[in-house]
Amino acid sequence: MKLTKQLKLLLTVCLLFPTLLRAQQTAVVATDSLTLEQCVAFALEHRAEVEQALLDEAIGQREIRADLAGWFPQINANYGGTHNIKLQQQPFGDNIVTLGQKYTSNLQLEATQTLYSSELLLASKAARYTREQLEQQIINTKVNSVVAVSKAFYDVLLTREQLQILLVNLERQEKQYNDARSRYEVGLVDKTDYQRAAITLANIRSDIKRASESIEAKVAYLKQLMGFPIEQDLNLAYDYGRMEEVVLIDTTQIVNFADRIELQQLQTQRQLLQLNTAYRKWNFLPTVSAYANYNWLYFNDEFSELYSQSYPTSGVGLQVSLPIFQGGRRYQNLKIAQLREQRLDIEIENTRKEINTEYLAALADYKSDYVEWRTLQNNLELAQEVYDIIKLQYNEGVKAYVDLVVAESELRATQLNYYNALYNLLASKLDYQRALGSIDINR
């Protein structure tokens, strides 16, 4: 029976809808301008390091389950067959009796249940801390991702802003060059004015080329940190006014060592080492397990009749295994475990000192970068005012062209330095927040 046109159209739409939906989602990613928050959120889902940390957690969960599987009953089946070429003979009085038959075989089904094992006990107690360790590694990776992506985001935006400054300077310098050449042609000034303008113009074009090339590299780096598709364009959106507002942070906060994920990881590692030390003590205890088996035995002198008759046996029992002497290995392993605990205690204390140093250095960098930023903010207003005055005086013939060139160069340098200071301040703020352990990863 042939399908109607309406039904064919409906089936076509249903089949193509997922593809169209994916294409639409791809287009949204490719065309929309992403804010800092969106870039960070994208990175927390797609960055390679984050995905690897999540996979490490999944692998760790499987390993925990595999280690704990020993508490469940273990069931095994064994099969064996033997062709006895020479049977055992045993004298009984004056007679020699041949024991056994030419062909033998057995099929055994055995179940064992561990009742106590120091290794399984360690696995059970360590499972909780191992899960914490995996989760902490994800948190640490996300914290580093937030800082790295934020710095790269700011770097791209501020470099683009510097490029815009250079383009504005280029337009202004081209006008000054044309004005200087016109004045020279009518005999008002000598040729050094427009030659200076030509030199400045060439330098600005070189700076523009360098900034344009660096933006491409910085965008590629940001894509890498985000896990963003290489083939798609990455458009960024940000309010520069808001960027200047978010630079402020409370510098009276005191570092709380417990908030640092690195110290949390070391504390979890210490819990695992303490369990390992306890395990070395438990090694002096026996391993206890229960078992049950059922064994089918087959005997016959003819291979074709071997499985015609079975002689089953079965049994249940308790097995206790206790190594009595191992050359002092268990004692040495116990001492090694205790020494590792002492070593980690030293590392924890040293990490606290490193965190304190990192906090003080980040605080000092933030404060100095803030002062520099505010200084350049004021200098920017003064440089703009000086340039406007000298430009007006030059047009009126009061100032020489060299004064205008100096004022223009100072203005451009102050503008570029201002945005460099703004980036340094934003980066210092991120380092200060990381030192405090207050980076927000819940995006």
Q: Tell me: the pLDDT tens digits for 398-416? A: 887 778 888 888 888 898 8
Which amino acid is present at 147? V
Instruction: Kindly tell me if the per-residue pLDDT of 2 is higher than 60.
Output: no
Q: How far apart are CA 278 and CA 305, in angstroms?
A: 57
Output the pLDDT for position 305: 87
Token code pair at residue 233: 């364009």
Q: How far apart are CA 426 and CA 366, in angstroms?
A: 8
Q: Is residue 87 part of a domain?
A: no
Q: How confident is the model at residue 437 (pLDDT cuts 50, 70, 90)?
A: very high
Output the pLDDT for position 188: 66
Output the pLDDT for position 192: 74
Residue ending a domain, among 303, 321, 339, is 321
- If you average pLDDT over residues 156-172, what whole number do you get? 88
Q: Report helix, strand or coil for 237.
A: coil
Q: Is residue 21 part of a domain?
A: no
Q: Is residue 5 part of a domain?
A: no
Output the pLDDT for position 312: 93
Question: Mean pLDDT lowest for which of 167-171, 213-217, 435-439?
Answer: 167-171
DSSP 300: E
> Do residues 417 and 301 both lie within one domain?
no
Q: Cβ of 439: how many Cβ atoms within 10 Å?
A: 19
> Do residues 317 and 395 both lie within one domain?
no
Residue ending a domain, among 272, 302, 321, is 321
Q: Is residue 174 part of a domain?
A: yes
> Do residues 246 and 309 both lie within one domain?
no
Output the pLDDT for position 443: 65
Residue ending a domain, among 321, 344, 373, is 321
Task: For 369-381, write each residue's pLDDT tens digit.
Answer: 999 999 999 999 9
> Do residues 222 and 277 both lie within one domain?
yes
> Do residues 404 and 386 both lie within one domain?
yes
> Do residues 387 and 418 both lie within one domain?
yes
**Residue from 401, 398, 404, 400 nearest 386 by CA:** 404
Q: Is residue 228 part of a domain?
A: yes
Q: Is residue 160 part of a domain?
A: yes
Beta bridge partners of 92: 95
> Do residues 340 and 403 both lie within one domain?
yes
CA dihedral 229, 230, 235, 239 (to 10 degrees): 80
Q: How far apart are CA 103 and CA 307, in angstroms?
A: 10
Beta bridge partners of 116: 288
- If you average pLDDT over residues 145-163, what whole number do you get? 92
Q: How far apart are CA 222 and CA 236, in angstroms?
A: 11
- If you average pLDDT over residues 238-243, what whole number do you get? 76
Q: Tell me the percentage of the chain whose pLDDT exceeds 70.
A: 91
What range does the domain containing 124 cover? Answer: 34-72+117-285+324-436
Task: For 18-29, write each residue's pLDDT tens digit.
Answer: 443 344 443 334
Instruction: Kindly tell me if the per-residue pLDDT of 194 is higher than 80.
Output: no
128 neighbors 393 (Cβ within 8 angstroms): no
Output the pLDDT for position 297: 93
- If you average pLDDT over residues 178-196, what whole number do you get? 73
Cα radius of gyration (the chain): 39
> Do residues 193 and 49 both lie within one domain?
yes
Q: How confident is the model at residue 190 (pLDDT cuts 50, 70, 90)?
A: low
Domain count along the chain: 2
Rama region for 227: left / alpha / beta (φ>0; ψ in -120 to 50; rest) = left
> Do residues 257 and 280 both lie within one domain?
yes
- If you average pLDDT over residues 176-187, what whole number do you get? 74
> Do residues 149 and 278 both lie within one domain?
yes
Token code pair at residue 319: 């097995």
**Residue from 417, 357, 349 nearest 383 by CA:** 417
Locus of tokens 């015609």: 308
Task: For 57-67, write each residue's pLDDT tens digit.
Answer: 999 999 999 99
Task: For 114-132, write each residue's pLDDT tens digit.
Answer: 999 988 999 999 999 999 9
Q: What share of the chain is helix, strand, coil (3-state, %, to 5)?
A: 70, 15, 15
Higher pLDDT, 334 or 174: 334
> Do residues 271 and 297 both lie within one domain?
no
- If you average pLDDT over residues 5-30, what whole number do you get? 41
Output the pLDDT for position 26: 39
| Domain containing residue 275: CATH number | 1.20.1600.10
> Do residues 147 and 262 both lie within one domain?
yes
Output the pLDDT for position 14: 40
Q: How confident is the model at residue 189 (pLDDT cuts 50, 70, 90)?
A: low
Q: Cβ of 254: how many Cβ atoms within 10 Å?
A: 6
Higher pLDDT, 33 or 293: 293
Q: Is residue 140 part of a domain?
A: yes
**Residue from 108, 67, 111 nearest 289 by CA:** 111
The DSSP secondary structure of 351-416, one letter per residue, reads HHHHHHHHHHHHHHHHHHHHHHHHHHHHHHHHHHHHHHHHHHHHHTTSS-HHHHHHHHHHHHHHHH
Q: How far apart are CA 429 and CA 426, in angstroms?
A: 5
116 neighbors 287 (Cβ within 8 angstroms): yes
Higher pLDDT, 431 or 23: 431
Output the pLDDT for position 31: 46
Question: Mean pLDDT lowest for which of 62-66, 78-82, 204-208?
Answer: 204-208
Q: Is residue 7 part of a domain?
A: no
